[in-house]
Amino acid sequence: MFGLDYSWLGDPVYQRWLVDGVWVTLQLALVSSLAAVAIGLVGALGQTLRLWWLDACIELFVEIFRNTPPLLQMLFFYFTLTQIGFTVTDPVTGLQHPLLSAFVSAAISLSLFGGALCIEAFRSGLDAVPKATLEAARSLGYTRLGLFRRVQAPIAARVCLPSLTNILTNLFKTTSQASVITVPELMYAAGQVYSDTFRTLEMMLMVLLVYVTLVSLLAWALTLAERLLAYPGYGKGF
Amino acid sequence: MSPYNALIGGVTATLLLGFAAQAQSDTLADIRERDVLSVGIKNDYPPYGYLDENNEIVGFEIELVRYIANELLGSPDKVELIPVVASNRIELLNSGRIDLIMATLGVTEERAQVIDFTEHYVSAAGASVLARQEARFDQWEQLEGQNVCGIQGAYYNRTLTDHYGIRLVNFTALPEAYRALQDNRCVAMVFDDMTLRQKLGEPGWEGYKIAVEPYEYLPMAGGVRKGDEAFLDAVNAAIVKAEGEDRLIDWEGEYDMPPSDHIAARAEAARAVAE
């Protein structure tokens, strides 16, 4: 159909490469998404403590990792850290080996990049809780912790879910850059297959379809969570 | 000899199949009349054909072209060097723009259907393995399950992973792969033998060696129009004469190419026939 040739899909070697590639993409996306959300929570909570030196540290972290390309960060963790001495010595051969593997380098940089974006998203969620609501809760006798747990956090979570969906879908797509530091994810596998078969258009269409499917599933799950958690005035209900 | 060349060769081959059948001519008489030999060469592919610091086209194949011109027309200068690329060289030959291809042309079945090959004057090594001097492996099979740095999209990647079970760590470009090898991310690095051997000559690479020899060799030959018997015979005679005189071995030395068993064996064979 349309002159497209997908006969190479029948090749077991290419099937294995592509399935393995999708699997690595999923692993990388999952690990870095969880870590990014965790970093975001810690950072946003840290900012509520109102300690000037902690705020300064968090702000510096956000500025560095939000404002640099993830590809550059991956190359930094993969090559530069090794160059400046992040190595382990092999007890048998005495050779210096890099401390961070390609997957770990990619996962760390994606986590920090996503984490920086999450801190900002969660902070904006906390900031969005109306002052009047907080004052009302305080006048009802909530302690600082109780106020946060029962009033501020539930509202903030619902406010920042849409931007979290954006961040995580973006992070999922950014995993494709890890092919540059040899993480054998979907794009890495796809590149080798079309180099062998010359079916570049067919391969790209297929990769496109896989990403659309996977990212749509992720976005759909997060939207569902948004709806389930919705309450009047915050989040989108059914 | 990238897979890309092979593809383009194949496509060109199909397109020109009908055309080539009609293009029978006597090139030998033709070039004697014109008193010049038009040859398609590479000008960007050291050591075979490239521009030197004076912007002159030089190289191993250029030497051979000049030798052939000398044999056929009596002067190494009666030659018109026309830079070609893999995608147009067969078309240029079959359309009559050039008389001979001497441009790192790999011998393939697809191409043999649309052009005739001369003697296989070079056997270009495929991929070999660069590793530390201490490396104790010297067979491809010994690399099974090992991390070996390589380049994404190389034509031999499938053979290495699927047939030899090597865990390739493939980069997008050579500098990253060399860096990763020196960082010990891989026990070895795999790439075109010629390129790796030239790398060994650079400062900083004293601690490395070619640990595993190529598992395949790809013959390279000149290309002439199909059915152009008299011209093909004359070119072949010139190539064999050059081989018998050890000229190809001289040119290997001149252009810093590693000594090739193929060329040495052909020189012997050429002398044996001559006696």
* DSSP secondary structure, A39-67, as one string: HHHHHHHHHHT--HHHHHHHHHHHHHHHS
Averaged pLDDT score across all residues of chain A:
93
What topology does CATH give the domain A27-82+97-229?
Answer: MetI-like fold (1.10.3720)
pLDDT band at B22, cuts 50/70/90?
very low
**ipTM greater than cut 0.90:** no
The CATH number of the structural domain formed by B127-215 is: 3.40.190.10
Averaged pLDDT score across all residues of chain B:
90
Chain B positions touching A95 (Cβ under 8 A) are 184
Please compute the mean of the pLDDT values over residues B87-116 and round it to a whole number. Answer: 92
Query: Taking Cα atoms as reference points, which of B146, B27, B48, B183 lies closest to residue B98?
Result: B27
- Please check the confidence at residue A230 and state whether its pLDDT lies above 90: no
* B170–chain A nearest CA distance, Å: 6
Which of A104, A195, A197, A200 to mutate: most B Cβ within 10 Å?
A: A195
Among partner residues B134, B152, B185, which is closest to A188 by beta-carbon distance? B152
Beta-sheet strands, E only, within chain B: 37-41, 44-45, 49-51, 57-58, 79-83, 100-102, 115-117, 122-125, 127-132, 147-151, 167-171, 188-192, 208-212, 217-220, 223-225
How far is Cα A85 from Cα B7, in angstroms, rounded to an integer? 44
Which pLDDT score is estimated for A103?
A: 97
* B171 touching A (Cβ < 8 Å): yes
Which B positions 106-135 lie with beta carbon below 8 A of chain A? 134
* B11–chain A nearest CA distance, Å: 12
Which pLDDT score is estimated for B5?
A: 56
B3-124+218-274 matches B127-215 in fold: yes
Give the residue on A whose Cα is nearest the Cα of B149. A182
Q: Where do the domains of chain B lie?
A: 3-124+218-274, 127-215
Q: Where do the domains of chain A lie?
A: 27-82+97-229
- Please check the confidence at residue B63 and state whether its pLDDT lies above 60: yes
Name residues whose C-beta falls within 8 Å of residue B263's C-beta, 6 or more positions apart in sequence: B121, B122, B123, B243, B248, B249, B252
> Comparing A158-172, B189-203, B222-236, which segment has the lowest mean pLDDT?
B189-203
* B205–chain A nearest CA distance, Å: 16
pLDDT digits (tens, 9 = 90+) for A36-48: 999 999 999 999 8
Please compute the mean of the pLDDT values over residues A62-81 and round it to a whole number. Answer: 96
Which B positions 213-252 lie with beta carbon below 8 A of chain A? none
Among partner residues A96, A98, A196, which is closest to B158 by beta-carbon distance? A196
pLDDT band at B23, cuts 50/70/90?
very low
- Please check the confidence at residue B125 and state whether its pLDDT lies above 90: no
Angle of helix A12-48 versus helix A102-127 axis, rounded to 10 = 40
How far is Cα B178 from Cα B134, in angstroms, rounded to an integer? 17
- Please check the confidence at residue B8 and state whether its pLDDT lies above 70: no
Which pLDDT score is estimated for A93?
A: 81
Indicate yes or no: CB of B152 within 8 angstroms of CB of A198.
no
Which pLDDT score is estimated for B6?
A: 54
pLDDT band at B270, cuts 50/70/90?
very high
pLDDT band at A138, cuts 50/70/90?
very high
Query: Taking Cα atoms as reference points, which of B176, B203, B273 lies closest to residue A79?
Result: B176
Task: Specify the CATH architecture of the domain B3-124+218-274.
Answer: 3-Layer(aba) Sandwich (3.40)
Which pLDDT score is estimated for A170?
A: 96
- Please check the confidence at residue B112 and state whether its pLDDT lies above 70: yes
Name residues whose C-beta falls within 8 Å of residue B274's C-beta, 6 or more positions apart in sequence: B244
- Please check the confidence at residue A145 and state whether its pLDDT lies above 70: yes
pLDDT band at B87, cuts 50/70/90?
confident
Which pLDDT score is estimated for B194?
A: 85
Give the residue on A whose Cα is nearest the Cα of B132. A95
Q: Would you say B67 and B238 are in contact if contact means Cβ atoms under 8 Å apart?
A: yes
Structure tokens at A216: 């749509």
pLDDT digits (tens, 9 = 90+) for B170-187: 999 899 999 999 999 999
Strand partners, B120: none
How long a stretch of residues is chain A?
Answer: 238
Which pLDDT score is estimated for B20?
A: 45
* B7 touching A (Cβ < 8 Å): yes
Strand partners, B191: B128
Which of B169, B178, B190 to mutate: most A Cβ within 10 Å?
A: B169
Among partner residues A13, A98, A182, which is closest to B158 by beta-carbon distance? A13
pLDDT band at B1, cuts 50/70/90?
very low
